[in-house]
Structure 1
Amino acid sequence: MEKSLWESILCVRKNAPLVHNITNYVVMNNTANALLAIGASPIMAHAHPEIEEMVTISNAVVINIGTLDEYWCKSMDLAAKKAIELHKPWILDPVGAGATLLRDQTVTSLINYKPTVIRGNASEIMAIAKVSRLQTKGVDSVYQSEEAIEAAQWLNSSTGSIICVSGAVDVIISGKQKVFIQNGHPMMQQVTGLGCTATALIAAFIGNDPSDPFHATASAMCLLSIAGEIAQKNSNGPGSLQMNLLDKLYNITEQEFHNYLKIEVQND
């Protein structure tokens, strides 16, 4: 798998997939810049009259529930429905799932549209699976990703979605396949919205190659975590890390990627 992961990165750079993001106010700029840095093309649009047209011309759709309101909930519903109609891949980021009734209701509604991938932290994944209804801390996780494996497996089997649990170790689950990625750095947790960035990068990779969404998800998560690990070495804190991470997403080399890659693949 290691060699093909880098090939996926090159393909995204070459093909510049268009990613339609319905995402939160906090991360829009970061997300757009990260997509541009890897060679993808971002667009942020949530106006009801243009949602279906945007989905139609896009290669993949991101739905991120970070800053919810009634208007955006309708936008998300329209986008997910159109994506399924057109057989376009779409990725759900259930930010803060389990924190409020509105978030739970929104996630439950969106899951009915069978997202290609659900990416969240351990608390969010466990909340969706109803393992820990009230033990969440806003958008932060109070669990390690490995603690959410059972919940992720249940969610995968019940929805058909690939489940990506991000954390100190990123875990990706689809059927009997599991991937564990042990790259990254703790300082990345101090940069707001890097989980949302991960979701957007997954969309770019799946939009580029919808035939193998599991591999595409692994490629995106490896790229982000390795870029963050390398960027941290030249960063004095979260501010410079954010800048250096964007640069490394843009200029990472094949040698750097393979030198840092720490991935374990399991087939149960």
Structure 2
Amino acid sequence: MANTLLAAGASPAMAHSIGEVEDFVALASAVLINVGTLSEGWVGGMKLAAARAGRLGKPWVLDPVGCGATPYRSKVCAELMLLKPAVVRGNASEILALAGAAGAAVKGVDSTAAAAGECERAHALGAAKQLAARHGCVVAVSGAEDLVTDGSRVVRVANGVPLLQQVTATGLAAQLAVEDGAVGPGSLRVGLLDSLWTMTEQQLREGARVLE
């Protein structure tokens, strides 16, 4: 993730210590909270970072990795939702589980279902719209075609390749990497970084497949 941000022109800092995370938030333009690694100390740092970002009016993104896998993970994600993220991004299964943990009504699909199939994606979109409306944020459901909603409007982002399931922190740049010859996760990672580094505004405007 740090390499991806660097290639895109950002200056990432991977801070999680309770002793410094608020100071890093003050320096940052935006914050990403990824719950992939949970420990008591890290959770404390996440909550401090989210609260500080809110007080400073800086946008922060919640990535509820594995939400629904354990009761503790779901509880932490629900508590972070109360701190008002600007954006929530997860796969269909994570969004369904988060909606249930955060008090939104999820019907028709078990919250631990695998993120596959049009039926589940339809239910995940409904859950995403409820989350967005309830918490005043944008929710993105990642997949072969990303679904993004603010609670009322929905757009679809159709950039992607099957290899995206084998790596993280990707998007349009991965599509360009495959077009340039990436054939597996290793070459995709290299091509992805190169594509982010060389991407022009014209490529982004012409290549982004955003559908209302």
Q: Does the C-alpha gap of structure 1 residues 133 and 243 become closer, same or farther in structure 2, counting only changes over 3 Å?
A: same
TM-score, normalised relative to structure 1:
0.71
Determine whether 1:135 maps to 2:82.
Answer: no
Which residue is equivalent to 1:153? Answer: 129
Q: 1:230 corresponds to which letter in structure 2?
A: L
Which residue is equivalent to 2:68? Answer: 98
Which residue is equivalent to 1:250? Answer: 197
How far 1:190 moved relative to its partner? 1.3
Q: Does the C-alpha gap of structure 1 residues 114 and 235 become closer, same or farther in structure 2, counting only changes over 3 Å?
A: same
Q: 1:153 corresponds to which letter in structure 2?
A: K
Which residue is equivalent to 1:189? Answer: 165
Q: Is the 8 A contact 1:96 1:136 kept in 2?
A: no
Specify which structure has the higher proportion of helix: 1
Unpaired runs of 5+ residues, structure 1, are 1-30, 198-223
Secondary structure at 1:99 match in 2: coil
Q: Does the C-alpha gap of structure 1 residues 146 and 252 become closer, same or farther in structure 2, counting only changes over 3 Å?
A: farther
Determine whether 1:227 maps to 2:197.
Answer: no
Q: Is the 8 A contact 1:120 1:165 kept in 2?
A: yes
Which residue is equivalent to 2:5? Answer: 35
Question: Per chain length, whose mean CA-contact separation is higher, i.e. which structure has more relative contact order (CA < 8 Å, sep 6+)?
Answer: 1
Mapping of residues 43-54 of structure 1, within 5 Å: 43-54=13-24
Which residue is equivalent to 2:142? Answer: 166
Cα deviation code 1:188-212 (max 9, x no counterpart): 1112xx2xx2xxxxxxxxxxxxxxx
Secondary structure at 1:129 match in 2: helix
Distance in 2 separating the partners of 1:45 and 1:122: 28
Distance in 1 separating the partners of 2:171 and 2:122: 17
Distance in 2 separating the partners of 1:44 and 1:135: 29
Q: Is the 8 A contact 2:128 2:151 kept in 1?
A: no
Which residue is equivalent to 2:40? Answer: 70
Aligned length: 202
Determine whether 1:260 maps to 2:196.
Answer: no
Q: 2:175 corresponds to which letter in structure 1?
A: E
How far 1:53 moved relative to its partner? 0.8
> Moved runs in structure 1, 4+ residues, more than 6 A?
none
Distance in 1 separating the partners of 2:69 and 2:82: 20
Over the matched positions of the two proteins, sequence identity in percent amounts to 44
Cα deviation code 1:93-141 (max 9, x no counterpart): 000011101111101111110111110011101111123555245xxx3
Distance in 2 separating the partners of 1:261 and 1:112: 32
Cα deviation code 1:59-98 (max 9, x no counterpart): 1111110011111111111111111111111110000011
Distance in 1 separating the partners of 2:204 and 2:28: 28
Secondary structure at 2:19 match in 1: helix
TM-score, normalised relative to structure 2:
0.89
Q: 1:168 corresponds to which letter in structure 2?
A: A
How far 1:51 moved relative to its partner? 1.4
Distance in 2 separating the partners of 1:226 and 1:104: 30
How far 1:142 moved relative to its partner? 3.9
